[in-house]
A and B are shown apart, each in its own frame.
Chain A
Amino acid sequence: MPKFKKVQLVLAGIFAILFFRFYHLQIYQHSKYEAKAGNNSVRKISLHAPRGIIYDRNGIPIVDNRQIYDLSVIPFDVTNQFDYQMVSNRTGVSSNELKEKIAKGKKSFHRFRPIPIKRHIDFETRSHLEENKLSLPGTIFSEFPARTYPVKAKLTHVLGYLRAVTDLTISIPNQELDYKLGDVFGFSGIERMYESILRGRDGTEFRLVDIYGIDHGVYQDNPGQQPTPGKSLNLSIDSKLQALIEDLFTGKKGAAVCMMPQSGEVLAFVSAPDYDLNSFAGPVPIELWEGWNSDLERPLINRGIQGLYPPGSTFKLIGAALAKEGGKVDKSWTVNCNGVYHLGDRDFHCWNTAGHGTVNLDKAIFQSCNIYFYHLIQKLSFNNWKVMAENFGFGAPTGIDLLGEKGGLVPGKTYMNNKYGRYGWATGNLLTFIIGQGDILVTPIQVAQMMNIIATRGNTKTPHLLLDSPSENITLSLKSTTWDFLQQATWSVVNHENGTGKAAKINGCEVHGKTGTAQNPHGENHSWFAGYLVKEGVPILSLAILVEHGGKGSVEAALISHKIFKYAQKNITL
């Protein structure tokens, strides 16, 4: 064979090896590398689904969405003109830190990839920065859905707030809703309770991204999926009434719960002090939350369902109901009140130290005479009293659609034996229980629920915030005369010339109620007023007002109730 043929043959052999290597990669392993090339360049971007909007009972939006923005900078695009000071002034990020970050980014391989500077800036800040775009080369904004609260009513404790997912394993209540790091979720209130309705489903988009992270638009071969917005909610709240009550509670601590007696729909729900959900953008910043948490006024506590208070004289209605139901007393059974009652070596006082004189059950309610009840409890059974209290919903959570509700405490024999020992307690304790003091603890919503029961003669529903939601019936069968008495007595509290609840009276409608002045170990008495409003023969609003350390129930709480009734008289219809 000639030499040149041999050389050509060797050459052909080497070219054949090259060809088969390419053949191997491009035909045999094609699908493997095709997938790898796809993974290289296609990025899955998630599109945030807007959360559901929350409306009040009249269709007024009380929680809406707004766009807030995350500010990022592409280091490569930053020039010497970049105004670090301006960004610093607007966002609070120190300009030195910013300079360092960008200088470092410029040197890195990922200099085309945006680095986050400040999360959750609002529209105004963004506009300011956008106006000066020329001196801020390389800045970009990405949208982030946040909540806004367009009405005057804050409704802080009902609505609750959002938090960002920082740890996928611990912090999220509804794991099945497909959360990703950085997503927000309802951490408290309605936002949490109805998270699965409000959240919606995030969409996805596939985008082509080059090696530096520069976006080259949507990937045509896979259109992704559009986000499904969260469903909206209608609350039973009347946002105007809510705003009115919030105003009345300015500077006070306490709680107010207003409901529709027949349906259990919550019309207003105030816990003071509160905090401003509009004071931050996006999820609650951790410093702010820690501030609230360490605040001695404890704004994070939802007093309406978590605040435990002695009910004071509002609880006398339980004793009265029991006395009536058992037929133990009638109008003719009277007690002489001279302001003090001696039991053993202890003195038990009436709030009216001058005494009420001769008192029957009616008068004992509307004048709120303690001495009468000291005598009455000794005619009644402790067990029956406890059962009656529980029939009126005390000692257990009402089941309102908010998390963290407390059940309070109605002491019974077992409880007393456990706490004080078998012989460590006596009739003296019972005397305090009947007037709503001592170990008894209730929440304001329980007191309001008691008013629902009285106003509807035992035919109401579980308190709830979501409008038109199915809720459980509450039925309590007592003798008709018992209901008559309770309604009559509470009417007298407000309408009798000597009634303790006179301050709550309005003209043109029938107001029922009961005042309470709860002694407590922390200072000035708590002021209670619980009652309901009857318009044209139908109960349309029940309420429980508690003002911590507000003094006499006949004053502070009754005055607030008066204003609420006035509003309701005009604006609330069934």
Chain B
Amino acid sequence: MLRKILLYNNLLNKIIQVPDKIVFRWGMLFPVIVLICISFITLKYTSVNSSFLSSTFTKQIVWFGMGSVVFILAQWIRIQYFQEYAYHLYGLLIILIGITYFMPVIGGSQRWIILGPVSFQPSEIGKLLLVFVIARVLADQKGNMNEIKLLLFILIMAIIPALMVFKQPDFGTAIVYGFIAIPMLYWSGIRSFYLFSVIAPFVSIISAFNIYIFSIWMGILVLVIYFNQPKITIGVSQFMVNIGCGIMSPFIWNNILYSHQKERILTLLNPAQDPHGAGYQVIQSIIAIGSGGIWGKGVGEGTQTQLRYLPVRDTDFIVSVIGEEMGLLGITVILVVFFTMLYWIIVYAGIISNRFSSLTLIGFASILFIHLAVNMGMTVGLLPVTGLPAPFLSYGGSFLLSCMLILALSTNIINHHI
């Protein structure tokens, strides 16, 4: 019995640590308060027709309350735990995502693990776990490993869960998984040229569909290779790989893909081609934002929003609602405060000398950034519709909780080191 308690106590000691101090970093937290307020005001008027208890406005307030509790509790977490057990947690993530394949299909995808009344989406918390494991690898391997091997290792670590969620299918989360490794790798000090080499083939594939853009891109590629002066064989082979990707992609497009697959991809690229599907949503979103003007139509006065021309206005397209009702003013406020938040996280990451903690902060900032950028890019038709919500703005309990958790752990890390 005593052994058991001691064992349990031992485990608790691993996870819990009484913080020396709890300092609220207002440079990070004030933007969150502004964003949450904008979200509440918007939801208040988009849910004006539903009853008080069932409205997204009320629910989001409850979720925010829970998020605040989580924020405080998270200050007691011993952050080194995640460093020590990063590989275990990564393994757990792979297993949990694997389990989702055996779960029932909900809304066309298998993202959830359902245990009786409780259901959760492992890929959501997985974003944090992936940050931990990449930070751990990069922190551990300082100078011990060949840079290229390290790069490939990290990329494989990121791509395995990315492909797994892509198969669920969850395109948005796959993008997040694929993206967060890149700023972290950069932050870890890996040569920019290597990172560039990894990203370049993807750009080649996409730019190949327009001969002018492809030519310009090839020019940039040659210049970058020239100024970085790799071995001649590496430089030439890199160039050849990119040319090859460029030539292959139209060939695959024209001869191998089925028409319905092409359609799906085209819709991603050009929403106007499919005015009733995903393209329809983007068209309505652009109309909403464009008609908002500088000052907006006034809260609750947006015709696109209130007359339901805007789809999923509480979640994916809440930025469009803000653009319509609060205008460029509201959008500017969002951009400014969000930038401020990320700015301060990066500042702290620069100050903290502990590699794991510093890299973790960069990973967290990457998660928040990619969500906002993809979401806002989607609402104005710059990026395809992927279903990534906007942090602190979109309605959705678990997503708000994980965003709050990211902020909480960031605060925890910063307080621990500074």
Q: Which residues of A contact B (CB under 8 A)?
A: 2-4, 7-8, 11-12, 14-15, 17-19, 21-23, 25-27, 29-30, 32-34, 36-38, 40-41, 208-212, 216
Contact = CB atoms under 8 A, between A and B. Distances in A.
Contact of B309 (A25, A34, A211, A216): A211
Contact of B289 (A3, A17, A19, A26): A26
Interface of B: 183, 186-187, 189, 284, 286-294, 303-304, 306-309, 323-324, 327-328, 331-332, 335, 338-339, 342-343, 346-347, 349-350, 362, 369, 373, 376-377, 380, 382
Contact of A33 (B286, B335, B342): B286
B288 A22 contact: no
B335 A19 contact: yes
Q: 4 closest Cβ contacts across the A-B interface?
A: A33-B290, A4-B350, A210-B307, A37-B291
Contact of A3 (B187, B304, B373): B187
Contacts of A14: 373
Contacts of A18: 335, 373, 376-377, 380, 382
Contacts of A19: 331-332, 335
A210 B309 CA distance: 7
B287 A21 contact: no
Contacts of A37: 287-288, 290-291, 303-304, 309, 324
A54 B339 CA distance: 74
Contacts, number: 114
Contacts of A27: 293-294, 328
Given A4-B347, A11-B339, A40-B287, A30 B303 contact: no
B190 to A, nearest CB: 12
Contacts of A11: 339, 342-343, 346, 369
- Most central of A3, A27, A33, A38 by chain B CB within 10 Å: A33
Nearest to A5: B350
A14 B339 CA distance: 10
17 contacts: A7-B187, A11-B339, A12-B339, A21-B377, A21-B382, A22-B289, A22-B323, A23-B328, A25-B286, A26-B328, A32-B290, A37-B291, A40-B284, A40-B307, A41-B303, A210-B309, A211-B309
- Most central of B186, B289, B343 by chain A CB within 10 Å: B289
Nearest to A18: B376
A25 B186 contact: no
Contacts of B307: 40-41, 208-211, 216
A38 B288 CA distance: 10
A36 B287 contact: yes
B294 A3 contact: no
* Chain A binding surface SS class: helix
A15 B293 contact: no
B335 A29 contact: no
Contacts of B338: 15
Nearest to B183: A7
Given A7-B183, A210-B307, A210-B309, A22 B346 contact: no
Nearest to A22: B331
A33 B307 CA distance: 16
A33 B289 contact: yes
Contact of B293 (A3, A8, A30, A210): A30
Contacts of B306: 210, 216
Given A8-B342, A14-B373, A41-B304, 5 more contacts: A3-B350, A7-B186, A26-B290, A37-B309, A208-B303
A510 B375 CA distance: 98
Contact of B308 (A3, A4, A8, A210): A210
B175 to A, nearest CB: 15
Contacts of B187: 3, 7
A26 B309 contact: no
Contacts of A7: 183, 186-187, 346, 362
A93 B361 CA distance: 69
A26 B320 CA distance: 11
B350 A2 contact: yes
A7 B308 CA distance: 39
A7 B184 CA distance: 11
- Most central of A17, A34, A37, A41 by chain B CB within 10 Å: A37
B308 A211 contact: yes
